[in-house]
Amino acid sequence: MLAPLGLGCLWFGGAAWLALVAVAAGGLAVEWVHLCGRRVLAPAGIAVPLAVLVAGGTAAVIAPGLALLVLAMASVLVWLLALGFGASAPLRLAAGVLYVGPAAIALVWLRADPSAGLANTLFLLLIVWASDIGAYAAGRLFGGKLLAPAISPAKTWSGAAGGLLAAVLTGLLLAWSLLGPPVGVRPALVAAGLGVVAQVGDLLESAIKRRFGVKDSSRLIPGHGGLLDRLDGVLTAAPVAALLALPLGRGVILWS
């Protein structure tokens, strides 16, 4: 249900995409506040989602560079508020702004490109989803040695390889379907890079949950955890995709 909604908003772009990113980013920030053991309506708690939303809005109406500056300043403000109101672990609260915010800015900026925005953002999301599905399927099918036993008791090397293969195949298929043959090697390289970064994001979120002593980031999605559990790969891959697109310029697809 969530995937068709996301793809529909991505297709229409504009206000629909901005609304989806805002809801997702706000939800991710709220989950982070709860993980920190704080109330969202407390001054330091509400500042986290507000900071992320203001930074994303800045990227939409002004520029991503200024949005990143706003994000950095907002993280400091959250830290000062947490200190001023006696909140425990103020650095953890501030870290949530820097964990969620860059992806929100990247997703807004990528899709805003009138020529290549749809293709680039679709490429990013499909690569992350393919990596996640491929890793799960290969891990369940082949099992084997754990990838990072100190962080995650379930992720295996076979799963990582399956996720990487799925990402590469998806990247090649999407490049072929959008531009036709020959596709060359660049789509495979970009897809592989984003797939690896997405898996790093998955491991990072597992490490964060272990640090907080929880199994899932929330119970928002029955049987699947919370938004942080579902979007961990996007949180790391989206900023990298934006960095790859930045030197190419507007109107240029990632794998060209």
How far, in Å, CA of 27 to CA of 39, rounded? 14
Average pLDDT, the chain: 90
Query: For residue 109, how many other CB atoms are within 10 A of its CB?
Result: 25
Query: For residue 3, how many other CB atoms are within 10 A of its CB?
Result: 9
Pair 227, 31: CB distance under 8 Å = yes
User: How does pLDDT run across 107-151, given as a tens digit for each residue?
Assistant: 999 999 999 999 999 999 999 999 999 999 999 999 889 988 888
Q: Which of 70-74, 122-126, 221-225 has the lowest mean pLDDT?
A: 221-225
Q: Where are the domains of the chain?
A: 1-112, 115-256
Query: Token digits for 126?
Result: 């499909």
Q: Which of 184, 76, 191, 51 is nearest to 129 (CA)?
A: 191
Query: Token digits for 236?
Result: 């790391």
What's the CA angle centered on 37, arms 32 and 41, to 5 degrees? 75
88: helix, strand or coil:
coil
